[in-house]
Amino acid sequence: MNPTAGSFTINLRIQRHFAVFSLGFPGQDSLKTIYKTNLQQHLVLHLPLQNPLHKMSSGIVNAALALHTKVVQSFLPTATKFHYFFNLRDLQHFPGSLI
């Protein structure tokens, strides 16, 4: 099933065992809502309500998404650097990350 080599046809007896689901990547507004909700729920569970981080949650999420966008645009994958593929889960692995 490799589109660059081999056959494009699949035997129907094997194809019936598989299903393909395709979802588009969510837009920026949806991402902001998802990550802001997750961050706010995390903060409510682990910090007192008077903590200033509660008020900054929108700014933190906006900054994280802007950073991700900049990284993806700056570090494009090439033949020698094929591992330059970043997704939003990578933000969780930064030291001191809140998301």
Per-residue pLDDT, 1: 53
N-term to C-term CA, the chain = 37
Task: Report which DSSP code applies to 47.
Answer: S
| Residue 55 near residue 48 (C-beta atoms within 8 A) | no
| Residue 61 near residue 36 (C-beta atoms within 8 A) | yes
Report the SS3 class of residue 63. helix
Q: Tens of pLDDT along 5-29?
A: 666 677 788 888 888 777 888 899 9
> Looking at residues 72-80, what average pLDDT do you find?
81
| Residue 35 near residue 65 (C-beta atoms within 8 A) | yes
Give the residue, 6 or 83, on which the prediction is more confident.
83
Q: Tens of pLDDT along 24-72?
A: 888 999 999 988 998 888 888 888 888 888 889 899 999 989 988 888 8
Instruction: Enumerate the domain spans of the chain.
Output: 27-93
Per-residue pLDDT, 2: 54
User: Whose structure tokens read 């997704």?
Assistant: 87
- The tokens describing 3, both together, are 């589109």
